[in-house]
């Protein structure tokens, strides 16, 4: 299991609790209470199909816990210590890893729980404290779930959780369905033909998406102008996506409930996830604000380097989500701005966007007949060449240059689509973009592999 240090760094720099991320104050892994928190949290994350257990932060304020930090963090949270707890209390042992990141000269541990559970993991023995209080229950199935107020917690699974648990296990058992179809239905061409046959043509949903795109782009331009960044945009290429869910959803609960639901539903597959929760950011200007019946945020730190980001997002509780982001290729020191596009990076972003959109639809309790329309848009492509600058081991033939400056692609996906089956839709969404570069196209087999890697957080 590979761990992305960039992801760990961002989890510590911008902690945000969700269904796949648990945050706790400093824990003593040798005490009964500490052992119980680690075992319960890890089992709950495993049953939620993996995630991250971040230690050393107040789970209410999301600020570093200033008390009780161990003198030697790496020794206290050594992987052998944590793995020993898992092996002792998990009915089906699973391998975990421990990564570390520094914030304000303090090191923080992140316990990484892998994906891939096909059978629910239970606690195999009781654990009590010195007063006889039961901390862990034998045969208890712990699960990351939402409380009534929309905040996530690790607790014993209830009847309402079992559908999610069963779906997670089923999807992991069926994760190789794309490979199975390719082997038995004649390979890449036959599989692509099947998807093309079921892919709908222009529909009312697509027309609605294109109409909404111009509206949200106006909101984006207003936010950029207000921040004095409207001229900066012209120096950078960008990619954006408008996600429209149908039928339109009538907002339920409060605005805070909506933000909590969306934040906790985001699986955070990458260190800087799409539609990230910026409510806990130090910079007040980066936090979401309610404007014109939707939530929007502008996260602007344009530059060239690890900490450089340039995002705008807008989320409407009726089921409309928009994200605009400057191309990472123009915000790195590894290549000159406006000269390259790393196809692997963009492929991962498209996979992540579709996967997160499906998670949002599920969290918002859309009906099984619901459909998700994704309208992708890329700008500033003209004159760029494909270059694997983020990972030089990935080979892309030289000289593939783009002559079009703007590209759009639209794809519709049923809300009930399993995450393990999104590769053909990703292929459809990327064709318009990559063929601009002298007809380049990723083989479906490669796309399927990248889907599985991202869902397993093995970037």
Give the mean model confidence (pLDDT) for residues 312-323.
96
Of residues 245, 247, 236, 371, the one with CA closest to residue 312: 236
> Which residues have CB under 8 Å from 184's CB, separation 6+?
none
pLDDT at 163 over 80: yes
Give the E-state strand segments of 254-370 in sequence order. Answer: 289-291, 294-301, 309-316, 320-326, 340-341
All structural domains of the chain, each given as residue ranges with its CATH number in brackets, are 5-173 (3.30.950.30), 195-455 (no CATH)
CA distance 272 to 459: 13
Give the mean model confidence (pLDDT) for residues 239-263.
85
- Residues 272, 5 contacting (CB under 8 angstroms): no
pLDDT at 103 over 80: yes
pTM of the model: 0.81
- Residues 55, 26 contacting (CB under 8 angstroms): yes
Query: pLDDT averaged over the chain?
Result: 89
CA distance 125 to 95: 19
Residues shown for the chain? 459
7-59 per-position pLDDT tens digit: 899 899 988 888 999 999 999 999 999 999 999 999 999 999 999 999 999 98
Q: Quick one: tokens of 93? A: 């042992």
CA distance 353 to 336: 26
pLDDT given for residue 180 in this prediction: 55
Give the number of other Cβ atoms within 10 Å of residue 221's Cβ. Answer: 14
324-370 per-position pLDDT tens digit: 999 999 999 999 999 999 999 999 999 999 999 999 999 998 888 89
Give the mean model confidence (pLDDT) for residues 207-218.
95
pLDDT at 301 over 60: yes
279-288 per-position pLDDT tens digit: 888 889 999 9
């Amino acid at each position: 299991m590979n761990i992305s240090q960039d992801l760990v760094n961002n989890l510590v720099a911008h902690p945000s609790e969700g269904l796949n991320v648990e945050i706790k104050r400093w824990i003593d892994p040798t005490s009964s209470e500490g052992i119980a928190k680690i075992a319960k949290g890890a089992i709950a994350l495993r049953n939620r199909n993996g995630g991250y257990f971040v230690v050393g932060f107040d789970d209410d304020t999301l600020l570093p816990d200033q008390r009780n930090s161990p003198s030697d963090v790496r020794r206290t949270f050594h992987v052998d210590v944590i793995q020993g707890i898992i092996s002792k209390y998990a009915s089906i042992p699973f391998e975990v890893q421990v990564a570390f990141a520094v914030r304000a000269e303090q090191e923080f541990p992140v316990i990484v729980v892998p994906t891939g559970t096909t059978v629910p993991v239970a606690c195999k023995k009781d654990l009590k404290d010195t007063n006889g209080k039961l901390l862990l229950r034998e045969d208890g199935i712990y699960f990351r779930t939402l409380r009534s107020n929309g905040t996530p917690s690790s607790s014993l699974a209830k009847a309402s959780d079992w559908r999610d648990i069963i779906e997670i296990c089923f999807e992991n058992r069926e994760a190789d369905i794309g490979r199975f179809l390719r082997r038995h239905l004649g390979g890449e061409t036959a599989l692509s033909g099947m998807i093309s046959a079921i892919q709908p043509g222009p529909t009312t949903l697509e027309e609605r998406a294109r109409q909404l795109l111009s509206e949200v782009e106006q909101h984006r331009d207003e936010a950029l102008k207000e921040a004095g960044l409207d001229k900066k945009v012209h120096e950078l290429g960008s990619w954006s996506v408008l996600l429209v869910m149908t039928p339109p959803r009538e907002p339920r609960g409060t605005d805070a409930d909506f933000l909590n639901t969306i934040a906790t539903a985001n699986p955070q597959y990458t260190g800087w996830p799409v539609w990230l929760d910026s409510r806990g950011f130090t910079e007040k200007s980066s936090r979401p604000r309610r404007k014109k019946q939707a939530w929007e945020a502008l996260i602007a730190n344009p530059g060239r380097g690890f900490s450089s980001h340039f995002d705008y997002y807008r989320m409407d509780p009726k089921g409309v989500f928009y994200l605009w982001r400057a191309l990472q290729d123009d915000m790195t020191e590894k290549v000159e701005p406006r000269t390259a596009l790393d196809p692997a990076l963009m492929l991962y972003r498209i996979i992540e966007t579709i996967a997160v959109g499906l998670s949002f639809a599920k969290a918002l309790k859309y009906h099984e007949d619901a459909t998700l329309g994704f309208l992708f848009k890329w700008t500033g492509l003209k004159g760029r060449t494909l270059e694997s600058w983020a990972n030089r081991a990935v080979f892309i033939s030289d000289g593939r240059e783009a002559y079009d400056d703007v590209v759009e692609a639209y794809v519709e996906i049923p809300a009930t689509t399993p995450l393990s089956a999104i590769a053909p839709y990703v292929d459809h969404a990327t064709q318009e973009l990559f063929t601009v570069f002298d007809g380049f196209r990723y083989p479906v087999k490669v796309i399927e592999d990248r889907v599985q890697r991202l869902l397993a957080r093995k970037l």
